[in-house]
Amino acid sequence: MNTTAVIEKINTGALDARFVALYGKEALTAQRARYIKAIEEFAALYGAERDVYLLSVAGRSELAGNHTDHNRGAVIAASIDLDIIAVAAKTEGSVVRVKSEGYPEDVVDIADFRTPREARFSKSDAIIAGMCAGLAKKGYRTGGFVAYTTSSVLKGSGLSSSAAFEDMIGNIQNHLYNAGKISNVEIAKIAQFAENEFFGKPCGLMDQMACAVGGIIAIDFKNNTKPVIEKIDFDITAAGYNLCIVNTGGNHADLTPDYAAVPAEMKAVAAALGASVLRELDEKTVLAAAPRLRQTLGDRAVLRALHFFAENRRVAAGKQALLDGNLPAFFENVLASGRSSFCYLQNVYTTKNVAEQGLSLALCLAERTLEEKSAAWRVHGGGFAGTIQAFVKAEDVAEFRAVMDNVFGEGACMVLRVRREGATLVC
C-alpha cells in the first residue's frame, strides 16, 4: 500500500482501533495527525509510491530493579505510551537509510559494516549495523530499506530511547524480510548485542526487553540466554494512580563512564570471589569478604554489590505485591529502592559535576509534595541525569505536576499509561 493509500486509511478511521489500543481514546486525534505527518515526511524524502509499513516500539519504565539486569538479577518493567514510530519500505540491495526527525540521515551498507568499528561507537549508524549483523548471525533475513522515524521517547530521559531505536531496526527487518516471525524476545537479545558490541555501551537486557515485549513484565535474568518473563496483569490507572515521569533536563550523552562503572564494579566484586556476575554469589559471601574487598576495590564497589542483593529481594516482593493487588506493599518497595539507589548504588548524580543535581532536587521535591499522601517515588532508569518516577493518586497529579513543571520547565512532568504492546506492526 503506497503512502497516499495509507493516509486515506488513517483519514477514514480504518486504523482508529489500532491507535486507541496503543495510545488511548484521548490521544486518537493527535496520533492520527502524528502518523500522517510522518508518512508525508517519508514521501518527501523517499517517494510517495513505495509500499510502506507503519511500525511502533514502546518506550519503557523500570518499575523495580535499578541496575540489576547486567549482573543477571531480576526486574519489573512496563512498556509505556510514549514510543518511536517508523514509516518503512523495502529497497533493492544492502543499503539502509534511516532519517530520524531532528537528526541527520544515517546511511549504512549492511553488507560492508558487519563488525564493530570503534570509531563509530555511540553513533546511531552503529546501532543499525549491529542490529542487522546480529540478525544475520542468528540466521534471519536482512535487507535494504528506507525509513523515517519520529519519537516521543526523549533522548536521555531514562525511558530507553536507544533501546527503542534498536528494537525498531529489528522490528523493521522482522516485518519487511521475515514475515513477522522473529519473537520480540529474540529482537531484544539482538538489540543488547548491538548496543554492547557495535554502540560500545555496556548494558543489561531490561531496556530492550521491556520496549519489545509490552505490558508490565517481571524478568529474571539468572539464565541470560533464556530469561524468565512473567506477565503481570495489573492496571495501575484502574487502581486510581498515575505513573508520572519527571524529566529533570540532564542528558545522558557524556555519562557513559558513569554507567559503565556500575556493572564494572559489581562484576569486579564477583570476579574477586571467583564468579562472573553477582547473581552467582550470595550476600553472605560478599559480606564475609568485605574487609578485603574494601582494600582492593574500594567501598563504593562493596556498596553497589550490597544494593544488588537487596534490590533483587525488593523485586521479588514488589512482584508479589502487584500480583496480590497490594499497592501499599508495592509502594514500600519502590521507596526502599529509591533510598538504596541514592545512598548505596549512588547513581543520582555524577561526581564529575556535583553542581548539577537535577535528580536529587526532583527527589527532594517529590518527597516534600507526596510524603503525607499514598504515593511512591524513586530515581528512574540508569540515573546520573534524566528522570525520576512517581506513582501519584489521580487527584494529586495536578499539584505534583505544577511543582515539578515550575522547577524543571513546562511539560517536565509526563503522565503516562502502560500499554500492552511493545514492538509491533501498526499497518
Domain assignments of the chain as residue spans, ordered by start:
3-234+420-425, 241-416
In CATH, the architecture of 3-234+420-425 is 2-Layer Sandwich (3.30)
Q: Residue 252's pLDDT band (boundaries 50, 70, 90)? A: low
Burial of residue 139 (number of CB atoms within 10 Å: 0-12, 13-18, 19+):
exposed
Domains 3-234+420-425 and 241-416 share a fold: no
What is the rounded distance in angstroms from the CA atom of residue 265 to the CA atom of residue 271? Answer: 10
Taking residues 13-21, what's their average pLDDT? 96
Which pLDDT belongs to residue 205?
A: 80
Distances (CA, A) of 273 to 5, 32, 72, 276, 311: 62, 55, 16, 9, 20
Report the predicted TM-score, pTM, of the whole model to 2 decimal places.
0.81
Q: Is the dihedral of CA 167, 168, 173, 175 positive or negative?
A: positive
Select from 83, 91, 93, 171 the least CA-distant residue to 131.
171
Q: Is the dihedral of CA 311, 210, 269, 259 positive or negative?
A: negative
Q: Reduced to 3 DSSP states, what percent helix, strand and coil does the chain have, rounded to the nearest 5?
A: 50, 20, 30
Select from 188, 182, 186, 184 the least CA-distant residue to 206.
188
Taking residues 352-365, what's their average pLDDT? 94
Average pLDDT, the chain: 94
Which pLDDT belongs to residue 256?
A: 85
Which pLDDT belongs to residue 158?
A: 53
Q: Residue 169's pLDDT band (boundaries 50, 70, 90)? A: very high
Fold topology of 241-416: Alpha-Beta Plaits (3.30.70)
**What's phi and psi for 124, nearest 5 deg?**
-65, -25
Taking residues 81-99, what's their average pLDDT? 97
Q: Between 286 and 80, where is the model more confident?
A: 286
Taking residues 362-370, what's their average pLDDT? 98
For the ranges 161-170, 317-326, 399-408, the lowest mean pLDDT is seen at: 161-170
Select from 201, 194, 179 the least CA-distant residue to 133.
194
What is the rounded distance in angstroms from the CA atom of residue 52 to the CA atom of residue 2? Answer: 6
Taking residues 65-82, what's their average pLDDT? 93
What is the rounded distance in angstroms from the CA atom of residue 383 to the CA atom of residue 258? Answer: 9
Would you say residue 101 has pLDDT above 90? yes
What is the rounded distance in angstroms from the CA atom of residue 129 to the CA atom of residue 118? Answer: 13
Percentage of the chain lying above the pLDDT 90 cut: 84
The pLDDT tens digits for 31-44 are: 999 999 999 999 99
Select from 185, 147, 148, 152 the least CA-distant residue to 167.
185
